[in-house]
Structure 1
Amino acid sequence: MFKHLKNDIPASLVVFFVALPLCLGIALASGAPLFSGLIAGIIGGIVVGSISGSSIGVSGPAAGLAVIVLGAIATLGFENFLVAVVIGGAIQIILGLVKAGIIGYYFPSSVIKGMLAAIGIIIFLKQIPHAFGYDTDYEGDLDFFQLDGENTFSALGEMLNFISPGAVLVTAISLFILLLWEKVLVKKNDIFKIIPGPLVAVLVGVAYYLLIDPSSLFSIAEEHLVSVPVPEDAASFFGQFTFPNFVAITNPQVWLAGVTIAIVASLETLLCVEATDKLDPNKNVTPTNRELFAQGTGNIISGLIGGLPITQVIVRSSTNIQSGGKTKLSAIVHGFLLLSSIIIIPNILNRIPLAVLAAILFIVGYKLAKPSLFKQMYSLGKGQFIPFIVTVLGVVFTDLLVGIGLGLAVGITSILIKSYQNSHFLHIEKKEDGGHVVKMTLAEEVSFLNKGAILNELNKLPNNTLLELDVRKTINLNYDILEILDDFAIKSKDKDIEIKLISNRGTVYNPKSFTEFFITKRENAA
């Protein structure tokens, strides 16, 4: 874990700067105390990062849970809600122990890539208002419909009425520093690989805020800065922790919230694990059952001390990868940075312009949704591109789970259509007497999904036909197909259709029962 310090420490700094406003923004959107978001970020980094088997995944409060959390807190109250978080964590541990993490391996690559591209587009679009100084929407919002009544696109039009020249200038300066660092300076000297460009951009942004006259047109207003709770002393710091009311554990609503948190958080984590493994340049494979166990442990601890639910999150994970993170040390250190910074330097953190963080996330978003990715997916054909683009549109215009569900549904439909088409091979020849010879070769696997295709071909056979049914390559023939063949054997007599069954056991003309033939074949094979 300590072999790549020169990569992990700079990456942890960048993840820290991205995670800080996200933790606060998601807490705000969830109707929870701001400090609860920071607790979740700290636990996600230190505890989950330590237990997880992921090398580059970063965990913390997730925007996808904000609506669920908001409703649960409104219904139960915050202290009772924390009991639900603990219950959700316990269920996740059980899911890990029973090896439910295997679900994560059943999401098609096209859908996962679509999710990544969509998240990149959303990050980019959502940061444009922050880059122009229009901060009515909370940092970390990924939903199309926003809490302020706007949607992702209408907010861009509304933004034009509230442009802050200072925010625009800070965004431009920050982007210049980030691109100069990445494209030029890191290639000239190794020192620029150790000092991350985002850290320099943040320091320049803080200096800009402090040095520019507040009355100037190009000043940064306080509402455009990071806003971390500032405790007056040790007592007020520890007073920000909230503990669950376990008296409410008998409340069915608490259990319903806990189960919901466990299911949604687990799905989001497994999706993120698949996505981060695809982004990982070293192609590490995260053990999904261990990840569920780690997330469950983190949620129990987070709930016990007043934190929000935790999942592995794609924004922070992709930031970690793009910043050069190599091992789980970057996630763990980012957690310690969150903890130490809110204790030691909260006033300095509150001088960071959100425009700087918008510039950092612009780079992250662009790298996730590069035009070359869309070209690559298009070149792979309709089978890959359609589920990919449906997932992109679904995630952008609804939310993560709905978009993934739409992409998955299209992917499954594509598989069913292919299965329908590939159940058999058909070749038709003319007979000398004017009839036909139809040669039908069945595939290795013929399931009930192929009923329609085979039944359609059999019904189209003209009178006075010889049907040569070749099953020599067929390993598994579903009982539903055997029923169709048995029924056809009866009807074929009325149409003067002769059936020639060709198998590895020889040739049989007009078998009375395909079912008996294949059952006997299986018994002999056994």
Structure 2
Amino acid sequence: MFKTIKADLPASLVVFFVALPLCLGIALASGAPLFSGIIAGIIGGIVVGAISGSSIGVSGPAAGLAVVVLTAIADLGSYELFLVAVVLAGLMQILLGVLKAGVIGYFFPSSVIKGMLSAIGIIIFLKQIPLALGYEEGETPFAFFETTGLDIFRGLVNMVSSVHPGVVLVTTISLVILLVWDKVLAKKHKAFKLIPGPLVAVIAGIIYQLFFNGSGSTLEITGANLVSVPIPENVSDFIGQFTFPDFSQLGNTQVYMVAITIAIVASLETLLSVEATDKLDPAKRVTPTNRELVAQGVGNTFSGLVGGLPITQVIVRSTANVMSGGKSKVSSIIHGFLLLFSVILIPRYLNLIPLGVLAAVLLIIGYKLANPKQFLQMSKLGKSQFIPFLVTVIAIVATDLLVGILLGLAVGIITILINSYKNSHFLHIEDKSNGVHRIKMELAEEVTFLNKGAIQRELNALPENSYVTLDVRKTRSLDLDILEILDDFAVTADRKNITMKLISERGEVENPKSYREFFGVTVFEGAH
């Protein structure tokens, strides 16, 4: 496990600094205690990381579940009762893994997965802008951080005139450090590869805050523009931050409905994230999805028992891990321990980190995910790839993750149907001499009811006095629907003086009385 520790340790630091504000922001957006997000991050890193078969995936509280959690807490009336639903959801996920339901993720086309990655990159980039500018309107920048859809763009317009010069300066310094470190220094000496650029940016941010703290200068950063984690005074204070589920209402049917919703959404988000993360893996390792569902289920069960939010594998943290050079699951596990130690040992120092520094790290990650080159590459692959990709991107940015993925999947299916419609057969006009049209129609390897329209159209368009050769020697699957069309066309062919010569592996025959009988299909009333 520790063969790649030189790469995993720096990557875990980057993931830690990315995960910390995400844990806090998602907890706030979910209407849950801030500490619940930290708990979910710790368990996602240590427990799920240890059980999971994913080498580079990182788990934690999911932004895609924030709205579900917010609604569920309000409907159930208490956070303690909601935690019961989280525990039950975890048990359901374990059952799904045992039943081998992890295969669901493989039914999503590559274009949709790539669209999801690019859309997430765009959203990541856009959502860092208020943190990068120091926008202070409202309770906290995190309130904007978890908005979805077109609200992002409306929020950006409103905040242009409300920026904090100190945060802008810190963000700029951090971006310069990150870019110079990655593009220049890391290429000149190995020493710069051992120390991650984001860590240097965070240290620079803390130094900046210590220098200006209490100065009263316009460059001083205060309040909502700083990381904010709870500060326990003693052991009892730390333990007191945990919340435990209320199992007294275990018979409440509404709890089970919430649990089913969380289990389905969390499992789907995890499987899609696994698919996307595996594509980012330079080693192209394949994550065992059934084992991943079990790992997530165990994580959610533990998280619910100690007051944490629901957990999924998270593409943002996983991407940060890959982009930072993470090689194995050790990176995820170490990041979990870093979250644990940080809230116990150094919460005051964590609260000195300007959010602008973390925003700079995520701006770089967002750009890498949504690189314009990806759009150009997809456009060159043709409409069947580019249209589902583009629809997925636009829909996710305009609505939310699940709606966007489902729309992209629907467009992908429609594209498949259209291609299937077009590729059912090949038509060749061989000769038009002597007033007789000699035409060869060759059916594809698999012809289904989806091809009825295309084949029917071609048959109806055949001119009178034609001699048509229908070649089905390459066809391995021919639906009864197609045979029925051919049988029906036999009447039209006789009227238009069209000769149909059927060539198959069974032999050749002109104007067969029944195509169904020729292929040995017996038709019964109501079934075949």
TM-score bracket, shorter-length normalisation: over 0.9
CA contact (8 A) 2:112 2:392 kept: yes
Unpaired runs of 5+ residues, structure 1, are 522-526
Structure 2 counterparts to residues 137-148 of structure 1, below 5 A: 137-138=141-142, 141=145, 143-145=147-149
2:526 maps to none
Cα distance in structure 2, aligned partners of 1:107 and 1:41: 27
Match of 1:218 in 2: 219
User: Contact (CA 8 Å) 1:123, 1:142: kept in 2 or not?
Assistant: no
In structure 2, the CA distance between the partners of 1:383 and 1:121, relative to structure 1 (3 Å rule), is same
1:325 is paired with a residue whose SS is coil
| Preserved CA contact (<8 Å) 1:64 1:142 | no
1:400 equivalenced with 2:401 (yes/no): yes
For residues 143 and 3 of structure 2, the distance between their equivalents in structure 1, rounded to whole angstroms, comes to 34
Cα deviation digits, residues 375-420 of structure 1 (max 9, x gap): 1111112121111111111111111111111111111111111111
Match of 1:281 in 2: 282
Residue matched to 2:168 = 168
Who is 2:354 aligned against? 353
Amino acid at match of 1:70: L
**Cα deviation 1:125-182 (Å, max 9, x = unaligned):** 111111110154417945434xxxx811122221122110000000011111111211
Counterpart mapping for 1:51-66 below 5 A: 51-66=51-66
Q: CA deviation at 1:462?
A: 2.5
Matched residue, 1:29 = 29
Q: Deviations over 1:80-128 (max 9, x none)?
A: 1111111111111111111111111121111111111111111111111
Deviates more, 1:478-487 or 1:457-466: 457-466
Q: Distance in 2 between matches of 1:395 and 1:520?
A: 47
What is the Cα deviation at residue 230 of structure 1? 1.2
Asked whether the equivalents of residues 29 and 146 of structure 2 are also in contact (C-alpha less than 8 Å), the reply is no
Conservation of the 8 A alpha-carbon contact between 1:482 and 1:515: yes
SS at match of 1:56: coil
Deviations 1:310-353 (A, max 9, x none): 00001100000011100000000000000111011111111110
Residues 471, 143 of structure 1: CA spacing in aligned structure 2 closer, same or farther, 3 A cutoff?
A: farther
TM norm structure 1: 0.96
What is the letter of the counterpart of residue 509 of structure 2?
Answer: V
Cα distance in 2 for residues equivalent to 1:431 and 1:323: 66
Q: Report the equivalent of 2:334.
A: 333
TM-score normalised by length of structure 2: 0.95
- Offset at residue 288 of structure 1 (A): 0.7
Q: Deviations over 1:208-247 (max 9, x none)?
A: 1111153101111222101101112111211111111122
Using the alignment, how far apart are the partners of 1:480 and 1:13 within structure 2? 60
In the alignment, what sits opposite 1:108?
109
Q: What secondary structure is seen at the aligned counterpart in 2 of 1:138? A: helix
The one-letter amino acid of 1:35's match is F
Take 2:93 and 2:104, find their aligned partners in 1: how far apart are those partners? 13
Q: CA offset at residue 438 of structure 1? A: 2.4
Moved more, 354-363 or 224-233: 224-233
The match for 1:43 is: 43
**Using a 3 Å threshold, how does the CA distance of structure 1 residues 140 and 65 change in structure 2: closer, same or farther?**
farther
- Distance in 1 of aligned mates of 2:215 and 2:199: 24
Q: Per the alignment, in what secondary structure is the counterpart of residue 6 of structure 1?
A: helix
Matched-pair contact (CA < 8 Å) for 1:82–1:243 = yes
The change in CA–CA distance for 1:273 and 1:244 in structure 2 (over 3 A counts) is same
Asked if the contact 1:21–1:139 (Cα under 8 Å) also holds between the matched residues in 2, the reply is: no
Equivalence for 1:412: 413
Corresponding residue for 2:525? none
Tell me the SS of whatever aligns to 1:519: coil
The residue type equivalent to 1:442 in the other structure is L
2:141/2:224 contact within 8 Å kept: no
Corresponding position of 1:94: 95
CA RMSD of aligned residues (A): 1.5
Note the C-alpha offset of 1:515. Answer: 1.2
Could you tell me whether the CA contact under 8 Å between 1:26 and 1:140 is conserved in 2?
A: no
Rounded Cα–Cα distance in structure 2 between residues aligned with 1:177 and 1:140: 26
* 1:467 corresponds to 2:468: yes
Residues 237-284 of structure 1, C-alpha deviation per residue, up to 9 Å, x if partnerless? 111111111222211111111011011001110111111111111111
Structure 1 59/373 Cα, relative in aligned 2: closer, same or farther at 3 Å?
same
State the match for 2:2 in structure 1.
2
Partner Cα distance (1:184, 1:139) in 2: 36
Given that 2:28 and 2:143 are in contact with CA atoms closer than 8 Å, whether structure 1 keeps it comes out as no
CA distance in 2, matches of 1:519, 1:260: 48
Structure 2 residue aligned with 1:205: 205
Against the structure 1 CA distance between its residues 16 and 140, is the aligned structure 2 distance closer, same or farther, given a 3 Å change threshold?
A: farther
Which residue type is aligned with residue 10 of structure 1?
P
Instruction: Report the counterpart of residue 68 of structure 2 in structure 1.
Output: 68
**Partner of 1:524 in structure 2?**
none
Count of aligned pairs between the two proteins: 517
Q: Deviations over 1:442-488 (max 9, x none)?
A: 11100111011111111222222222111111111011111111111
Tell me, what secondary structure is at the counterpart of 1:440?
Answer: strand
3-state SS of paired residue (1:437): strand
CA distance in 2, matches of 1:395, 1:517: 51
2:402 is paired with a residue whose SS is helix
The reply to whether residue 189 of structure 1 matches residue 193 of structure 2 is: no
Residue type of the alignment partner of 1:307: G
Structure 2 residue ranges without an equivalent (≥5)? 523-528
Deviation beyond 6 Å, 4+ runs, structure 1: none
Q: What is the letter of the counterpart of residue 51 of structure 1?
A: I
AA of the residue aligned to 1:179: L
Partner of 1:80: 81
Q: Distance in 2 between matches of 1:142 and 1:239?
A: 27
What is the deviation of 1:430?
4.7
